[in-house]
Structure 1
Amino acid sequence: MSKETKEKMLDAAMRLFHTQGYHGTSVRHIAEKANVNVALVSYYFGGKKGLFEQLMTQFLEGYMSVMSDVKKQEGCSRDKLLDTLRALLSYQQSFHHLARMVHREMALDSVLVREIMSTYLRKEKHDFEQLLREGVRAGEFRRQQLDYVLFQIKSMLTMPYLYPQYLRELYQLMPTEPYFVKKYMEHLTKWVDLFLCGKDMSSTKARLFVPVS
């Protein structure tokens, strides 16, 4: 099987899982959308479940790679946290169909989800926790109960790509458009400076934020 044919099946599966959900998608649907023989899906991926698991793993491997790349950069904890948030939002925007599929699946209880939590999501939590602790030790961040801070960060990262229709319909925001990450990062910068760093935001100067490039 050519790499191109494999990518066609992965792309078809991703789009169908995104719009119809896992249970609403059949192997035949995937084969028809990819314009391949239905037997190829089962032969090369072991069926719909294998395709789904590969897409989940592919997305999360890329997600963790982004975190790892930012972690290696030099800089203070505040800047590294903001760089990480920006990079992860941009990554999800680039693969927004996959992002929504993965986040939606994570709301369910399954063997696959438990495996993902014990590997990828536990590593994500550890890396954010380590970054926050370094910031506290360096005096950049205020001491707080980290568990609550961590799930606030996770929620802010996940929400735009789990509920894009909600943002479009109620707030006229388009998480898939290039402007979104830039504008959202302006808010997240303010949140980090006020909530984590404890900066005084009452002055006019403090309220004026330079857009994040």
Structure 2
Amino acid sequence: MKGSTKKKMVDAAIRLFYTQGYDGTSVRDIASSANVNIALVSYYFGGKKALYEKILIQFLEGYLQTMHKAIRQQTNSVQESLLSVIRELLVYQATNHYTARMVHREMTLDSVLVREIMTTYLRKEKHDYEQMIKLGMKKGEFQRQSVDYVIIQIRTMVNMPYLTPHYFQELYQLSPKEPYFVDRYMEHIARWVKAALCQPKAETGIA
């Protein structure tokens, strides 16, 4: 019962934070949406701010776990490993699309919480991407270029659909939370990785 009540509150808070924003959502809104006593929000989570931070941190921990699991998979090349990581992160965000938008929206602000998240979680993500890109260059799979800019481009492709889902829906009639979007989007990303990162195949001179 306790777990079910907490989950109802978390689910309600995620939907409300997504649609109304943090400031536009009250503890009473959360309790009413979850159909629980208002005092339970403070009892279980310590208040609205603590609940909001818990949701963000749980999402980011799951994000990194998803990334690490994909990295550990056995693949034939760094290129395949990178594409596997990207796909799994897209699927993770599509599955948790409300929370994904909350987190990415929070990252656009300058706050103590954001600085802590940058240090604790996003530096780990950056490190993992760096290791993959540098390994690809060392093995001769990837062209030598600015690792930082490559990571920025990859992160933008991975996260942009879930930061601004309405942009995709209204202008392109695409729904980033749907499986078909991930499949089609991965086709484009795979072409981008091949063109922008991978070493061009040597000309054989054979017609």
TM normalised by structure 1 equals 0.92
What is the match of residue 204 of structure 2?
none
What stretches of structure 2 of length at least 5 have no aligned partner? 202-207
1:176-213 C-alpha deviation (Å, 9 max, x unpaired): 1110000000000000000000436xxxxxxxxxxxxx
What is the match of residue 145 of structure 2?
144
1:4-29 C-alpha deviation (Å, 9 max, x unpaired): 00000000000000000000000000
What is the match of residue 8 of structure 1?
8
Instruction: Tell whether the 8 Å contact from 2:130 to 2:151 is kept in structure 1 after alignment.
Output: yes
Rounded to whole Å, the distance in 2 between the matches of 1:160 and 1:127 is 21
Rounded to whole Å, the distance in 1 between the matches of 2:136 and 2:179 is 30
What is the match of residue 197 of structure 1?
198
Provide the secondary structure at the position in 2 that maps to 1:24: coil
Rounded to whole Å, the distance in 2 between the matches of 1:119 and 1:36 is 33
In the alignment, residue 108 of structure 2 is paired with which amino acid? Answer: A
For the pair 1:118 / 2:122, whether they are aligned, the reply is no
In the alignment, residue 176 of structure 2 is paired with which amino acid? Answer: P
What is the match of residue 27 of structure 1?
27
Rounded to whole Å, the distance in 2 between the matches of 1:138 and 1:63 is 27
In the alignment, residue 91 of structure 2 is paired with which amino acid? Answer: S
Instruction: Tell whether the 8 Å contact from 2:16 to 2:30 is kept in structure 1 after alignment.
Output: yes
In the alignment, residue 192 of structure 2 is paired with which amino acid? Answer: W
What is the match of residue 168 of structure 1?
169
* Cα-Cα RMSD: 0.9
1:124-176 C-alpha deviation (Å, 9 max, x unpaired): 00000000000000000000011111111111111100111001111111111
For the pair 1:17 / 2:17, whether they are aligned, the reply is yes
What is the match of residue 38 of structure 2?
38
Rounded to whole Å, the distance in 2 between the matches of 1:199 and 1:162 is 33
What is the match of residue 104 of structure 2?
103
In the alignment, residue 112 of structure 1 is paired with which amino acid? Answer: L
In the alignment, residue 116 of structure 1 is paired with which amino acid? Answer: I
Rounded to whole Å, the distance in 1 between the matches of 2:157 and 2:171 is 17
Rounded to whole Å, the distance in 2 between the matches of 1:176 and 1:89 is 9
For the pair 1:157 / 2:158, whether they are aligned, the reply is yes
In the alignment, residue 154 of structure 2 is paired with which amino acid? Answer: I
TM normalised by structure 2 equals 0.95
Q: CA deviation at 1:72?
A: 1.1
Q: How many aligned positions are there? A: 200
Provide the secondary structure at the position in 1 that maps to 2:73: coil
In the alignment, residue 7 of structure 1 is paired with which amino acid? Answer: K
Rounded to whole Å, the distance in 2 between the matches of 1:69 and 1:192 is 21
